[in-house]
Every structure is written in structure tokens, then in C-alpha cells.
Amino acid sequence: MTQKRVTQHPVLEVPKGEEVPFTWNGKELTGRTGEMISSALFANDIQIFGHHHKDESPQGMYCANGQCSQCLVIVDGLPVKSCMTPLSRAMNIQSVEGLPKVPPEDTPQAFDPPEEIQTEVLIIGGGPAGLSAAIELGRLGIDTLLLDDKDRLGGKLVLQTHKFFGSVKDSWAGTRGFEIGRILEDQLKELDSVKVKLNTTAVGVFSDGIIGAVQDNRYVKIRPNKLLVATGAREKMLAFPGNTLPGVFGAGAFQTLVNRDLIKASDRVLIVGGGNVGIIAGYHAIQAGIEVACVIEGLSEVGGYKVHADKLERLGVPILTNHTVVSANGTDRVESVTIAMRDENWKAVPGTEQTFKVDTVLIAVGLSKVDEFFLKAKEWGMDVYAAGDAQEIAEASAAMFSGKIEGVKIAKALGKYDNEIPQEWTEKAAILKSRPGKAAQRPAPPQETGVMPVFHCFQEIPCNPCTSVCKEGIIHTENDAITGLPHVTDPSLCKGCMNCVAICPGLAVTLVDFRKDPELPIVTLPYEIDRGRVEKGNTIILTDVDGKEIAQAPVKSLITKKKYPGTLLVQVKLPKEIAKKAVGIRVQEQPFPAEEVPDTSALPDNAMICRCERVTAGKIRQAIKNGVRDMNQLKAISRSGMGACGSKTCRPLVWGIFREEGVDLKETTDRIDRPLFVEVPFGTLAGTKGDK
């Protein structure tokens, strides 16, 4: 069987990895040792991990982040989350068909008391916020323990192949996310007072000030003086028929497979959601050799940065605003998806349906804070802090600042920091959290002599890499503000070094050189997709900022700057009339032909709200119409929220149905949280010796 792996990538190094055998339902397959079981299965084109005991519906990947149990499999007789369990040689893996059986245990069990750890500060989460806080605490010599449930630090930074916006000085703007993760990790390694526990999952916060955690199937009790919750966010789901088919999953899960594990998880995707997460996921898909049918957005304009959307459209991806998803179609997995325009009530407009043949639907419709630990610690009266998305949903660059700020707050509370928190930190954090400004077109510079950069960014966002790398100091932003649009103060001083072209996170800077031929200047464009398409002599399609074709031209030369190896600089010669308009290189045809529209008469009430217990929107809607206002009563009636994920997925959807039914949420009662926020085997809690 040919494995579905990314074998070439324009930015990431493709690891070799030792191939090891394992069995799937008795069939011998191979995977790479240490990769997550789910990734090994996807690499073998297996996306159905079992069938639900209630209705035999196929079960597959959803979050790839340990937040749900959709990827449950049976390994050597025990149920495990495949997205959190590494593959090892000769594993016997089986799909979950119905309810897993409790394994027999005939031998007496021996137990160990759980390890107890005392620490000044406990940080839950090793992403940008947790790492930044740990660095500040470590620099002050404060005893700190950082937990993360993955096998490496960095959080979502690990999944980001694009260059970051923000400030070069303060948040490494112009550097790729996974590289920033490594920088922060290297800084942390130099600090002796900070200890790190990877593959360690915090599972509960208790009234006696204990945080329970699980590491290597061992329960650990941690008693901190101060607690920082930097657990990030989880992706929101949408309710539509077919929303639980294998092949419908969150954009973060897709990025985990494609960028962390280099699995070609799809052949063609459709993305629901035009924020930065969805648009960037589309870009990552194309980098991995996956086609993107389109991005749809319910609002009248995308919510993400315009430069992100522009570079996707320039590659040949349509972005359809004022559209909604009608249904995902297929039997065992996604085969197509139907979309339509939406009306003022956010309902599909009959007659506007289009169906695209895709095998994957990425849901990128926003994030919810993972703040259970923070809220429970507050309830128990602990001295607890939150940073990053657990505090407020924002970009990773903002999360780094919030981590720094909260780290210093903790140090002050411990009496280890006497100064005031730098005001500029708070100001910069606020800027990095700010919404993008309105887009405004700007004319290209008029001169047609010498060499000059042309800026194709038209929206105010926090970003300054181009001003930071200009050797001549001639690139400035309006009012020298980090959110100001860039411009050149004196084009005659430009030497054509191309640094601004190579570093721009939005790939929105080109260089036009009139020096050799004023009629046919050389245009240098940034490019980060399959390099086989742009070999010297190949004819490529050039587009303007909106993705419209303006010319076809042969590649004249290719340049790679040592400091920016992932960004190839492609040079072409173009007539001077269009040279300043060229900014993109199209890599896929646009648009994809639509398939025949299937029967879409399935009511939205058929959409699955509680995926764990297979509870539909119709069942919940009927309970609300019958007067139910208490989530706990709703659980008793329908079992919604009773599943393995602990209502992490369905709870926001249930609130949405309450609102649709005209119920004021102030009239409702929230469900009671479980003592443990993550599933834990009884043997682990009891301290069973051994690994089962």
C-alpha cells in the first residue's frame, strides 16, 4: 500500500523515521515509531476508527488534540486515544466496534501511592503563553514546573509553517511559528529553576489545592503556591447534516496531521471559516500538495488578515463570502460537501446550492477558551492566573506577551519582582490583540527607474518585518506605528537586496528592477509552494493582488537567501505596464467544477450536536420547546453531554440552539462540571503498578 505521506515540503524538513510493523484489525501495516497512532492510520489511508454502538455510524478523527474521544481505538486490549498514543513496534490495534469491553483481570493488583510534588509555580500548557511565562519566572530563579500533554513544547506553534506578524524585536515577526517554538524552548533550557514534564496531562483541580496530572499512566499530585493556566483553546463545531462523518474535522487537527506529522491527510479540502485559522490552514494544505476547493465564510468579508486571504486567492483558491455549509455527503466518509448562500437569518437560500467533490471538510469557525482549570481553581480559592487563549482568544504573538505579563505578575505576588510591569508590554499586547483595520487601496509608486519594493498590503495590522530588515533604512510605516502601512521614503537609495521580499509574512512585497531594461523590468516575487512548478524556464501564471491572471511568463531565475531558506524568490521579466501589479503565482485552476447537487431535504434537525452520544439537534430542540432550561435536565433526557469528551464539543452548540429558540441564556442553568476534565483509567488513579 502506498502511504499518504508528505514526501516533499517547501518549508519543513521531511524526516525519515524508522518504519515499524503493526497490525490493524489483523492486517499487517507499517508506521513510523513514535508517531501518533492516528497519524500512522491516516498514512495508511485509514480514517474510520470504529463504529458507534448506538447507530453504527462511522467514527473518525475530529480534534487530534486529546479533547474528545472520536479517535478511540483498542490497543492490546485497552481503549486509548489514538491522537495521544505513540505507535510502537508490533502494536495490535483494533477498531472500536460498539462499546469497548472491560478487560478481564484475574491477578491481584499491587498499588503505589501517587507521587506528590511541591512547587512555587505550576504552569499548565507549554505553548507560546506558557513558555513565555516560564522564561520570565526562570530568569528570576523561581521554582517552576511546566506541564504539557504533548511530546514536545510549542503548542500550536509546532503546527505553523508561515511567518508571523507582529514585532521583530518582541515576538520574532518574520520567523515561522515552529521556529519560534524552538527559540522559546532553547531559552527555557538555559533556566535551571524551570522543570518540564512532557506527555503529562493535567486532569483535575481539587479543593485542597492539589492539581492532579497523569504522566506515563501514573497519577501525580502537584501542590503549587501559584497556578498559571495556559491551556490554549479548542475549536468550535458546526451543526449540519453529516457533520460527524470521517473527513469532517477541525483545522487544527488538519494542521497537526499535515505540518507536525507530515501526513497527506487529504486530496481535496473545502474550508468553512474565513478567519486566520481557516485561511492559513488552506495555505498549509497547498504547501503539502493538497488541493483546496474553496473557503466559505458566513460574513460579508473574511475575518482574517487580508494579506492571508490575498495570498490564498493568488494561488487559485476562491473565497466565497455570505455562504454557509448545507451538508457533508457520504456513507462511510466525506465524498462531497454542499454549500449555499445564506440569508439575513443565516439560513441557506434555496436554489443557490453548490456541491464540491472533496474528501475533507475543515471547520474553522472560531475557538473556545480551555479555561476549566482556571475556573475551578478560582472556585476553590487558589491563587490562579490565566494567559494566552485561556485568558483571551488572540494571535500567538499576543499570547507570548500575555504569558510574559502573567509571569511577572506571579513573580510580584511571590515577592520576587519589585519593579512595575513594563507599560509597553501591556500596550503591545493590546495592539497585537486588535482587529485588523479597513482595507484601503494604494497606488503603486510612479517611478520607472532604478529598483524599488512594491507593497501589496492594504490593511492596517501589527507588522514590521520589512522596516526592520531594510539595510538602507528607507522603509517606514505611517507615523512609524507598527500597524501603519509601509512605504519607501527615498526609492533612489534602494539597492535591491530583496530582504523585504523574503521576510514579509504576507508575501505581499515584490521588487521591480528597471535598471537593465526599463521596458521589461525584472520582477521578484516570493514563493513558498512546490518548487517543481517554478523551475527555471517554466512558464508560470502571474496574478494581481486579487488573484486575477495578468500575464504568463517564463521563470528567469531563482534566488534563495540564506537567512530565509523557506521563501524562494522567483524572477520574471514583465512589461512595465503590469510589472508593479504582479504579486502572485497561481498553482491550481480556479474554480473547481461543481458536482451535481444531491438531495438536501435533510432537515438541519438531523445535524449531530452531541457526537459522543449521537444526540441530534432535533431532539434537543424538542426538549427546549417542552420547557427544559437546565443543561443537567437535558443530559438526563437526551444524554447530551454524557459522553467521553465531557460536553466540550456539544455544549456551545446547545447554547446556540437555546438562542435560536429565543431563550435568554440568563434563564438557563449550566451543567455541573465533572471532577475530572480528562478521562483517566481507574487503575491510573489507584496507582496500579505496571503500565495497564
| Mean per-residue pLDDT, 552-581 | 96
- The pLDDT of residue 1 is above 70: no
Q: With a cut of 90, say whether residue 113 has pLDDT above it.
A: no
For 611, the 3-state DSSP assignment is coil
Is the same domain home to 348 and 251? yes
Does residue 307 carry a pLDDT above 50?
yes
Which pLDDT belongs to residue 692?
45
Q: What digits encode the pLDDT tens for the residues 35-85? A: 999 999 999 999 999 999 999 999 999 999 888 888 999 999 888 999 999
375 CB neighbour count, 10 Å cutoff:
14
User: Three cell numbers at 7?
Assistant: 514526501
Same domain for 346 and 406? no
Q: Would you state the pLDDT for residue 132?
A: 97
My answer on whether 328 and 255 are in the same domain is yes
Q: For 283-302, how does the pLDDT look when each residue is reduced to its tens digit (9 = 90+)?
A: 999 999 999 999 999 999 99
Look up the domain containing 556 and give its range.
451-585
Over residues 405-424, mean pLDDT: 94
Q: Classify residue 80: in a domain, yes or no.
A: yes
Q: Are residues 181 and 86 in the same domain?
A: no
pLDDT band at 124 (very low <50, low <70, confident <90, very high): very high
Residues 243 and 228 in one domain: no
Contact 503, 497 (CB under 8 A): no
Computed over every residue of the chain, the mean pLDDT equals 93
The CB density around residue 673, as the number of other CB atoms within 10 Å, is 14
The answer on 456 and 419 residing in a single domain is: no
pTM of the predicted structure, to 2 decimals: 0.94
Which of 363, 386, 404 terminates a domain? The answer is 363
Report residue 131: phi and psi, to 5°: -65, -45
532 to each of 8, 10, 312, 676, how far by Cα in Å? Answer: 10, 10, 19, 50
Residue 602 has pLDDT above 70, yes or no: no
Residue 591's pLDDT band, with cuts at 50, 70 and 90, is: low
- Among residues 238, 232, 273, 280, the alpha carbon closest in space to that of 393 is found at 232
In a domain, 540, yes or no: yes
Average pLDDT of the segment spanning 122-131? 98
* Confidence band for 128, pLDDT divided at 50, 70 and 90: very high
What is the spatial distance between Cα 120 and Cα 125, in angstroms, rounded to a whole number?
Answer: 16
- 527-562 confidence digits (pLDDT tens): 999 999 999 999 999 999 999 999 999 999 999 999
Query: What one-letter code names the amino acid at 6?
Result: V
Q: What are the beta bridge partners of residue 75? A: 78, 93
Residue indicated by cell numbers 511541591: 118
Residue pLDDT, tens place only, 606-638: 899 999 999 999 999 999 999 999 999 999 999
Q: Is residue 492 part of a domain?
A: yes
pLDDT at residue 603 tops 80: no
Minimal CA–CA distance to 343: which of 314, 371, 366, 322? 322
Residue 111 pLDDT grade (very low, low, confident, very high; cuts 50, 70, 90): confident
Identify whether residues 265 and 288 lie together within a single domain: yes
Q: Map residue 318 onto helix, strand or coil.
A: coil
Nearest to 570 by CA among 532, 615, 598: 532
* Same domain, residue pair 243 and 272: yes
Q: Which residues of 182-206 are buried (b: 16+ CB within 10 A; e: fewer)?
A: bebbeebeebebbebbeebbbbbbe
Q: Are residues 533 and 497 part of one domain?
A: yes
What pLDDT sits at residue 599? 65
Given a contact cutoff of 8 angstroms between Cβ atoms, the answer to whether 242 and 253 are in contact is no
Span 156-164, average pLDDT? 95
Q: Residue 224 sits in a domain of what CATH number?
A: 3.50.50.60
Q: Which grid cell sits at 135?
A: 522564561
The pLDDT of residue 589 is: 84
Q: Is residue 64 part of a domain?
A: yes
In a domain, 108, yes or no: no
The answer as to whether 222 is a domain residue is yes
Last-in-domain residue among 343, 363, 383: 363
Residue 464 shares a structural domain with residue 413: no
pLDDT above 90 covers a percentage of the chain that reads 80
Please give the tally of structural domains in the chain. Answer: 4
Q: How far apart are CA 525 and CA 586, in angstroms?
A: 12
Mean pLDDT, residues 454-477: 94
Cα–Cα separations (whole angstroms), residue 457 to 309, 316, 378, 462, 505:
11, 18, 43, 12, 11
| Average of per-residue pLDDT across 322-326 | 96
Residues 48 and 80 in one domain: yes
Residue 685 lies in a domain: no
Indicate whether 681 belongs to any domain: no
Looking at residue 156, its pLDDT comes to 94
pLDDT at 593 over 80: no
Residues 465 and 581 in one domain: yes
Q: Flag whether pLDDT at 277 surpasses 50.
A: yes
